[in-house]
Structure 1
Amino acid sequence: MAYDRELAERIRGAISGVEGVQEKAMFGGLAFLVDGHMAIAAGGKGHLMARVDPADGMDLVERPGVHLMEMGGRSMTGWLHVDQSAVDTETALSEWVDRGVTYVRTLPPKAAAKKPMGRKPRA
């Protein structure tokens, strides 16, 4: 499924000014990484995936339209699926973007990925 381009533009606006941001296609969406860590991602139909402090995850799912992210049949407390209804205002969206950025800033920066070396031709 393609990501919601309007939501991606809204996220770009909310995350502008943050240093170390990169965009990357991931999980069928458009992820916004900070220092190599995914902070937030635009998904399809206006929903987003937010990276949060795992200690806060269970409290946050008490909010309407917020669910634990599931991947491979496993719930992930530090990753939340946030419905479009929960990010319908710029204030609400900014809160999720800020939460994601704030959490990933506590993580050590990821080292740049090494490019795989090509096979050496046989002599």
Structure 2
Amino acid sequence: MQIPKPSDADKDRFRAVVPENPDVVVKPMFGNLGAFVNGNMFAGLFGPMIGVKLSDADREALEASHQTLPFGPEGRAMGGYVGLPEALSDTDEQTAEWVEKAFEYVATLPPKVAKPRSAKK
């Protein structure tokens, strides 16, 4: 499976559209970036593509107005996430609005509980 690597400009753009909130954590994931709230990812970077986890209503609104893309590796898209259309790539303001909606939605979900680590053998 080929995982695309984002450029430094892609990473900077991703960080620029993620909400400035003390509850947001941006961390590396497989050479890309993910933005988390309460341990749950609400936005991710996969190569140059930004993907978001939206409520059903917001996802339907986005899909009705834009051609969205599967988010994740080809043939193994991440369930519940939608890739923001390339048409939004030139308008960081609109991208930031969708990332904000994802943040607001995922912030309402229960916090992710860390799995206990197994003892080393």
Greater CA drift, 88-97 or 15-24: 15-24
Two-structure CA RMSD over aligned residues (Å): 2.6
Equivalent residue number for residue 36 of structure 1:
39
Equivalent residue number for residue 9 of structure 1:
12
Please say if 1:24 is aligned against 2:28. Answer: yes
For the pair shown, which has the larger CA radius of gyration, 1 or 2? Answer: 1
Gaps of 5+ in 2: none
Gaps of 5+ in 1: none
Please say if 1:86 is aligned against 2:88. Answer: yes
Higher strand share: 1
Q: Say how many residue pairs are matched.
A: 116
CA drift of 1:69 comes to 4.3
**TM-score computed with the length of structure 1 as normaliser:** 0.74
CA drift of 1:75 comes to 8.3
**Could you tell me the percent identity over the aligned residues?**
23
CA drift of 1:109 comes to 1.0
State the Cα deviation string for residues 19-56 of structure 1 (Å, max 9, x = none): 23231315x63211111111111122x32111101233
Runs of at least 4 residues off by over 3 Å:
67-76
Equivalent residue number for residue 57 of structure 1:
59
CA drift of 1:12 comes to 1.5
Q: Structure 1 pair 75/8, CA: closer, same or farther in 2 (3 Å)? A: closer
Partner of 2:41: helix, strand, or coil?
strand
